[in-house]
Amino acid sequence: MNGKKMGKSVLCAVLVTALLGAGCGKEQSAPEVYLDESIPETPVKLFTQNETVSVAIEECCRKVLNRDGNTNITLYSDSAGYYAEEGLSYRELLLKRLSSGTADDLYLIPAEDVLEFDDKGYIYDMSDLKCVSNLSDDALIQSTYDGKVFSIPLTYTCFGFVWNVDMLKEYGLEVPENLEEFLNVCETLKENGILPYGANKDFALTVPVMCAGLYDVYQEADSEKKLEALSNGETAISEYMEKGFSFLRLLIDRGYMDPEGALDMAPLGDEEKAFFAEGNCAFICALYRGVTFEGYPFEIKMTPLPVLENGSICVVGADQRLAVNPGSEHLDAAIAIVEALGQTETLDSFAASLGKISSSQNATAPDIPQSDSIIACVAGGGQIPNQDFRLHFNVWDTVRDLSQQVCRGMSAEEAAAEYDSRQQQEIAVYGKQ
């Protein structure tokens, strides 16, 4: 492990023993806890991207901490919005807090910051923790960089299209399953005065571009070889991603989406949901979670992206990546909490409480019939990670930025060339040659 080693202290041993087999997000009430006031409190500070997630983690810990009466660990959480309407965003605040030297003990690490945080020494290697063996293969791959397990993802998720099925039926259309069908649906809707795609400025641009550009990196037998060539710079990323940017350019040029409207639309907000709910477009891009399927006055269906000639694909990602600050003043307690939250039953029940896919080897998912096709796609493997940590350069963050520039008029060729430049610059910084 990097940083301070975790000793077999009485604190950790007793706490983890008490936590094994205890879940969260269940209906039963928490056990009544009697604390000996003579036991000093061990405060553990947590910083998350979302108040709902903070509350869920706190609730989970409330049910399992200090059950034996011999420990007095208390979790204190704070949160900030990933997208800041005012002030600093979560990512900006997190970097400031970590660089201050008096930061949080636990935090949720955004995928796009892993390379920089590793370079700055902000990542604690959790490779030796017992709970790592509870993760699914995909979740573990997306939690490992340069041989270090940098986080325990509390959930797993995916991005797909959510369709207004009633609107499609009105024009004699069905939910498309491949590129030809997708383009036909978009053209038919446009001819009838309907905006096909109600995109936002973030993942609604990033996800289609990645799917259209990177599919053959992940769905071919030589995937590892292709990733290695990309990671060391032997293969230029433009070889794949120019196709992705060209797909976005096609959506814009054919009038299948409104680029200016997309750049003005924040993701995951009430405005975006209302825009879709009021029938202003036929489909949107969404993150798989329980609330995605709630509140619409029409039949919906969530699917992988039908952007391949022979089918569909989606972007997947480990989610709510819980990381340990190696400079934590209460490292043993922080690690013990991670071990507890990383138990299989806890991961399963935590994901269920948020309506997401479990990151455990069970990979359980909510029983939502409207999402059958995308869950089957995820289960089939070969999907595109939102950030592949076998690469020594950024994907998600860079694709998002360049896709926004395409919406502002940049050509696909220019975007691809700029990506090549950034690929080489980041390999020079983060590559372990």
The 10s digit of each residue's pLDDT in 381-395 is 889 999 898 999 999
Which residue, chain included where needed, has tokens 């879709």?
276
Supply the pLDDT for residue 60.
75
Query: Which band of pLDDT confidence, cut at 50, 70 and 90, is reported for residue 160?
Result: very high
Strand residue runs (E) in 165-288 = 283-287
pLDDT: is 432 or 205 the higher one? 205
How far from chain centre, in Å, is Cα 77?
20
What value does the mean pLDDT take over residues 191-213? 97
Using CA atoms, how far apart are residues 20 and 24, in angstroms rounded to an integer? 12
Supply the pLDDT for residue 26.
46
Supply the pLDDT for residue 289.
86
Asked if 72 contacts 40 with a C-beta cutoff of 8 angstroms, the reply is yes
Supply the pLDDT for residue 78.
84
pLDDT of residue 2 exceeding 50, the answer is: no
Which residue, chain included where needed, has tokens 């963050």?
397
Supply the pLDDT for residue 366.
83
What does the mean pLDDT of the chain come to?
86
Asked if 282 contacts 192 with a C-beta cutoff of 8 angstroms, the reply is no
Q: Between the CA of residue 223 and those of 233, 238, 364, 420, what are the distances in Å?
A: 15, 17, 26, 20
Contacts 24+ apart (CB under 8 A), 142-147: 142/111, 142/316, 142/317, 142/318, 142/385, 142/387, 142/388, 142/389, 143/318, 143/321, 144/389, 145/114, 145/115, 145/118, 145/389, 146/118, 146/389, 146/432
What value does the mean pLDDT take over residues 309-335? 91
Record the tokens describing residue 373, joined without a space: 């096709």
Q: Under the phi-then-psi rule, with left for phi > 0, alpha for psi from -120 to 50, and beta for the rest, what region is 363?
A: left
Record the tokens describing residue 292, joined without a space: 């995605």
Q: Which residues contact 32 (CB under 8 A, 6 or more apart)?
A: none
Query: Which band of pLDDT confidence, cut at 50, 70 and 90, is reported for residue 416?
Result: very high
**H helix intervals, 265-343:** 270-277, 331-341
288-298 pLDDT per residue, tens: 988 888 889 99
Supply the pLDDT for residue 8.
29
Which of 95-104, 204-213, 370-379 bottoms out in mean pLDDT, i.e. has the lowest? 95-104
Q: Which residues pair with 148 in a beta bridge?
A: 145
What value does the mean pLDDT take over residues 84-98? 84
Query: Which band of pLDDT confidence, cut at 50, 70 and 90, is reported for residue 24?
Result: low
Supply the pLDDT for residue 12.
35
Query: Which band of pLDDT confidence, cut at 50, 70 and 90, is reported for residue 77?
Result: confident
Supply the pLDDT for residue 414.
98
Query: Which band of pLDDT confidence, cut at 50, 70 and 90, is reported for residue 340?
Result: confident
Strand residue runs (E) in 116-174 = 144-145, 148-149, 152-164
Supply the pLDDT for residue 253.
97
Q: Which helix (H) or strand (E) holds 63?
A: helix 51-64
pLDDT of residue 61 exceeding 90, the answer is: no
Supply the pLDDT for residue 70.
66
pLDDT: is 311 or 17 the higher one? 311
Using CA atoms, how far apart are residues 221 and 59, in angstroms rounded to an integer? 43
What value does the mean pLDDT take over residues 60-84? 73
Using CA atoms, how far apart are residues 262 and 279, in angstroms rounded to an integer? 16
Which of 33-37, 174-178, 295-299, 396-400 bottoms out in mean pLDDT, i.e. has the lowest? 33-37
Q: Between the CA of residue 404 and those of 85, 287, 385, 408, what are the distances in Å?
A: 18, 19, 20, 6
Neighbours of 425 (CB within 10 A): 11
Supply the pLDDT for residue 332.
86
Query: Which band of pLDDT confidence, cut at 50, 70 and 90, is reported for residue 316?
Result: very high
Query: Which band of pLDDT confidence, cut at 50, 70 and 90, is reported for residue 89?
Result: confident
Record the tokens describing residue 424, joined without a space: 């080489």
Query: Which band of pLDDT confidence, cut at 50, 70 and 90, is reported for residue 144?
Result: very high
252 backbone dihedrals φ, ψ, rounded to 5°: -70, -50
What value does the mean pLDDT take over residues 123-143? 92
pLDDT: is 154 or 38 the higher one? 154
Q: Amino acid identity, residue 123? A: I
CA neighbor of 107 nearest in space, from 318, 334, 386, 329:
334
